[in-house]
Structure 1
Amino acid sequence: MLKIDNITKRFGEHIAVDNLSLQIPEKELFGFLGGNGAGKTTTFRMILSLLDPTEGRILWNDEKISYNKSHLIGYLPEERGLYPKLKVKEQLIYLAKLRGMPANESIKSLERWLERFEISHYIDKKVEELSKGNQQKIQFISAVLHEPKLLILDEPFSGLDPINVEMLKKAVIDLKNDGTSIVFSSHRMDHVEELCEHICILREGKAVVQGNLQEIKQSFGKKNIIIHSEDELQFLQEVEGVLDYKATMQGCVLQIEEERIAKNVFQALQEEVFVRKFEIEEPTLNDIFIAKVGEKYE
């Protein structure tokens, strides 16, 4: 288990992380969310012991993470760190060696990952000759080549097209199912919602939401109603308890303050228009993020 115990990080007068406490179970995929400057990357660097907390402590399996545990940890930073002039094979073998992995094992592992990501033909290419998306795949492979037990991914899907995003998501899920504990951040709410059971949303270094995602949704209170109709629906904005109205190509999406308001909306529709679809859904993670942080990320 990764335990973050009342950590604070100050840079002069600036508080980057403010009294953060979390427990992240083993073999789980945990999501960190927040806008720019929220404290995600600083938290990751403290987990890795690249930065020391000003206050508090971080323990993994009841021990402080130090250099002698580096072979058990993988890290994909938001700011990429590949050597552009090195060939892919040379680079990956070198990075694996830094993690204590024998060359023969690293060659087998890198060949397996290159094949999985459909880039085996780039093994002898210089990194600078690869597209941004393929460089991102190499960066990911460098973080998992040595089969870490704890994997930290900072914006892992950045720069990837939808097909390659799905490829990497499948790899992340497989690593988790094989027993790797994974902590990752993303500005894409849909990725976090799809992959994570537990989350933490940071705002100005403080945790404003944390816990089980489904429980967070259920306790949020607000619900969405999806309505499909070819008729005009703007009159629904006037129904008591409707908080937000968004027109869609098929009709609209309403946000209501609680589920009982749906009955009033349905009655108003029956009196005015023909409805092809009426569905109540849980709030999305994007809804919760906007409510708690006040910023929207697509």
Structure 2
Amino acid sequence: MKLEIKDIHKSFDGNEVLHGVHFSVESGKALGLLGRNGAGKTTTIRILMDVFKANSGSITMDGKPFHPKEYKIGYLPEERGLYPKKKVREQLIYLAQLRGVSYKEASDSLKHWLKRLGIEEYENRRLDTLSKGNQQKVQLAQTLLADPDIVILDEPFSGLDPVNSQILKDVVLELIQDHKLVIFSSHQMSYVEEFCEDIAIMNHGSIVLNGGLKEIKRSYGQNRLVLQLAGKTPEATADICRQELLSYVSVYEKQKDRVILELQEGRTKTELLAAIVKAKLDVEAFMDYEPSLTDIFVWKAGDEA
């Protein structure tokens, strides 16, 4: 399956909040839908689920108009929505039946997911008696109970300790391997880098960057290099580069124990390395620069910072 969001516009009371949003995601892959609070991610997801209607644009599945009722969608919202005073089993089976799952199927699926997530002992406990992390795992069980075709996870790691985070990471990887269509939204960029082949970054209601994560990293690291000199602070290394290598590079950024250099126009990495050797600099590290997703996100969506 291939889901495509094409040129979606949405206004509220005459104020346009989505300006031609576009991205796609395929079964067996995870898309990282990223953006600061208020960027338009939740509105986009609600349009996808037919909670809101778009003013214009289209959503297709395999080239045909997408109708959410024809697919099983599992949605884990950032703002949790279960009933705190109700028992876990009671409400999860009820919610699964609302989505067309039989009582027996819901009961069997519930047993599987509670065991898989390590919370089977809480099956007949009220939700509000559980820890925040276990409540989050109940929410995830609810998301997956009906064996959805499309899984939308919004900040799924919220409230989880490292052990439970690993359980959830394993589950997300299993969903991808099972050829589910996964949309993953989180501010924890390390998880996005771990799961997502593709990303779409939103800013002020527009997609400002969209594509394969590896290719994006490669393009943002182009003509940039990492240099670390033995026994030198980043400040000292930057000063030496300005004195000895100015015609080859500029100092792009200073980091914890290294500097990021940018090649001057027309210069090559081989020429820079020869200049470093000629200057008799004691090199501890010299390599191509690959930016983190956090770096890229700040560059594209950090305009207000």
Q: Distance in 2 between matches of 1:187 and 1:7?
A: 23
Q: Which residue of 2 aligns with 1:69?
A: 70
Quick one: which amino acid aligns to residue 30 of structure 1?
Answer: L
Q: Which residue of 2 aligns with 1:53?
A: 54
In 2 relative to 1, CA 228–174 (structure 1 residues): closer, same or farther, beyond 3 Å? farther
Q: Distance in 2 between matches of 1:128 and 1:263?
A: 64
> Aligned runs of 1:119-134 on 2, under 5 Å?
119-134=119-134
Q: Which residue of 2 aligns with 1:16?
A: 17
What's the % identity of the aligned pairs? 38
Q: Which residue of 2 aligns with 1:257?
A: 262
Q: Which residue of 1 aligns with 2:245?
A: none
**Are 1:231 and 2:232 an aligned pair?**
yes
TM-score, structure 1 normalization = 0.89
- CA offsets, 1:160-212, max 9 Å, x none? 12221221111011011112100111111111111111110011011110011
In 2 relative to 1, CA 262–169 (structure 1 residues): closer, same or farther, beyond 3 Å? farther
| Aligned counterpart in structure 1 of residue 293 of structure 2, from 265, 273, 285 | 285
Q: Which residue of 1 aligns with 2:244?
A: none
Contact 1:38-1:204 within 8 A present in 2 as well: yes
Q: Distance in 2 between matches of 1:271 and 1:296?
A: 41
Contact 2:29-2:180 within 8 A present in 1 as well: yes
- CA offsets, 1:23-75, max 9 Å, x none? 22222211101111111111000000001001112123423324x335x1111
> Aligned runs of 1:92-107 on 2, under 5 Å?
92-107=92-107
Q: Distance in 2 between matches of 1:168 and 1:262?
A: 45
The residue matched to 2:208 in structure 1 has which SS?
A: strand
Structure 1: any 5+ residue segments left out of the alignment?
Answer: none
> Aligned runs of 1:166-205 on 2, under 5 Å?
166-205=166-205
Contact 1:9-1:55 within 8 A present in 2 as well: yes
Over aligned residue pairs, what C-alpha RMSD do you find? 2.4
Per-residue deviation, 1:216: 1.0
Aligned length: 291
Q: Distance in 1 between matches of 2:285 and 2:302?
A: 30
Per-residue deviation, 1:14: 2.5
Q: Distance in 1 between matches of 2:130 and 2:158?
A: 15
Per-residue deviation, 1:274: 4.5
Q: Distance in 2 between matches of 1:85 and 1:269?
A: 70
* 154-163 vs 169-178, which moves further: 154-163
Q: Distance in 2 between matches of 1:38 and 1:20?
A: 11
* 5-14 vs 81-90, which moves further: 5-14
Q: Distance in 2 between matches of 1:127 and 1:96?
A: 17
Q: Distance in 2 between matches of 1:285 and 1:167?
A: 23
Contact 1:236-1:268 within 8 A present in 2 as well: no
Contact 1:226-1:279 within 8 A present in 2 as well: yes
In 2 relative to 1, CA 270–22 (structure 1 residues): closer, same or farther, beyond 3 Å? same
Q: Distance in 2 between matches of 1:211 and 1:187?
A: 18
In 2 relative to 1, CA 94–194 (structure 1 residues): closer, same or farther, beyond 3 Å? same
**Are 1:243 and 2:245 an aligned pair?**
no
TM-score, structure 2 normalization = 0.87
Q: Distance in 1 between matches of 2:67 and 2:261?
A: 46
* 263-272 vs 174-183, which moves further: 263-272
- CA offsets, 1:76-132, max 9 Å, x none? 111100100111111111111111111111111111111111111111110000111
Contact 1:83-1:91 within 8 A present in 2 as well: yes
* 223-232 vs 104-113, which moves further: 223-232
Q: Distance in 2 between matches of 1:138 and 1:282?
A: 37
In 2 relative to 1, CA 135–246 (structure 1 residues): closer, same or farther, beyond 3 Å? same
Structure 2: any 5+ residue segments left out of the alignment?
Answer: 242-248
In 2 relative to 1, CA 164–296 (structure 1 residues): closer, same or farther, beyond 3 Å? farther
Q: Distance in 1 between matches of 2:270 and 2:291?
A: 14
Per-residue deviation, 1:295: 6.2
Q: Distance in 2 between matches of 1:270 and 1:106?
A: 71
Larger Rg: 2
* 195-204 vs 259-268, which moves further: 259-268
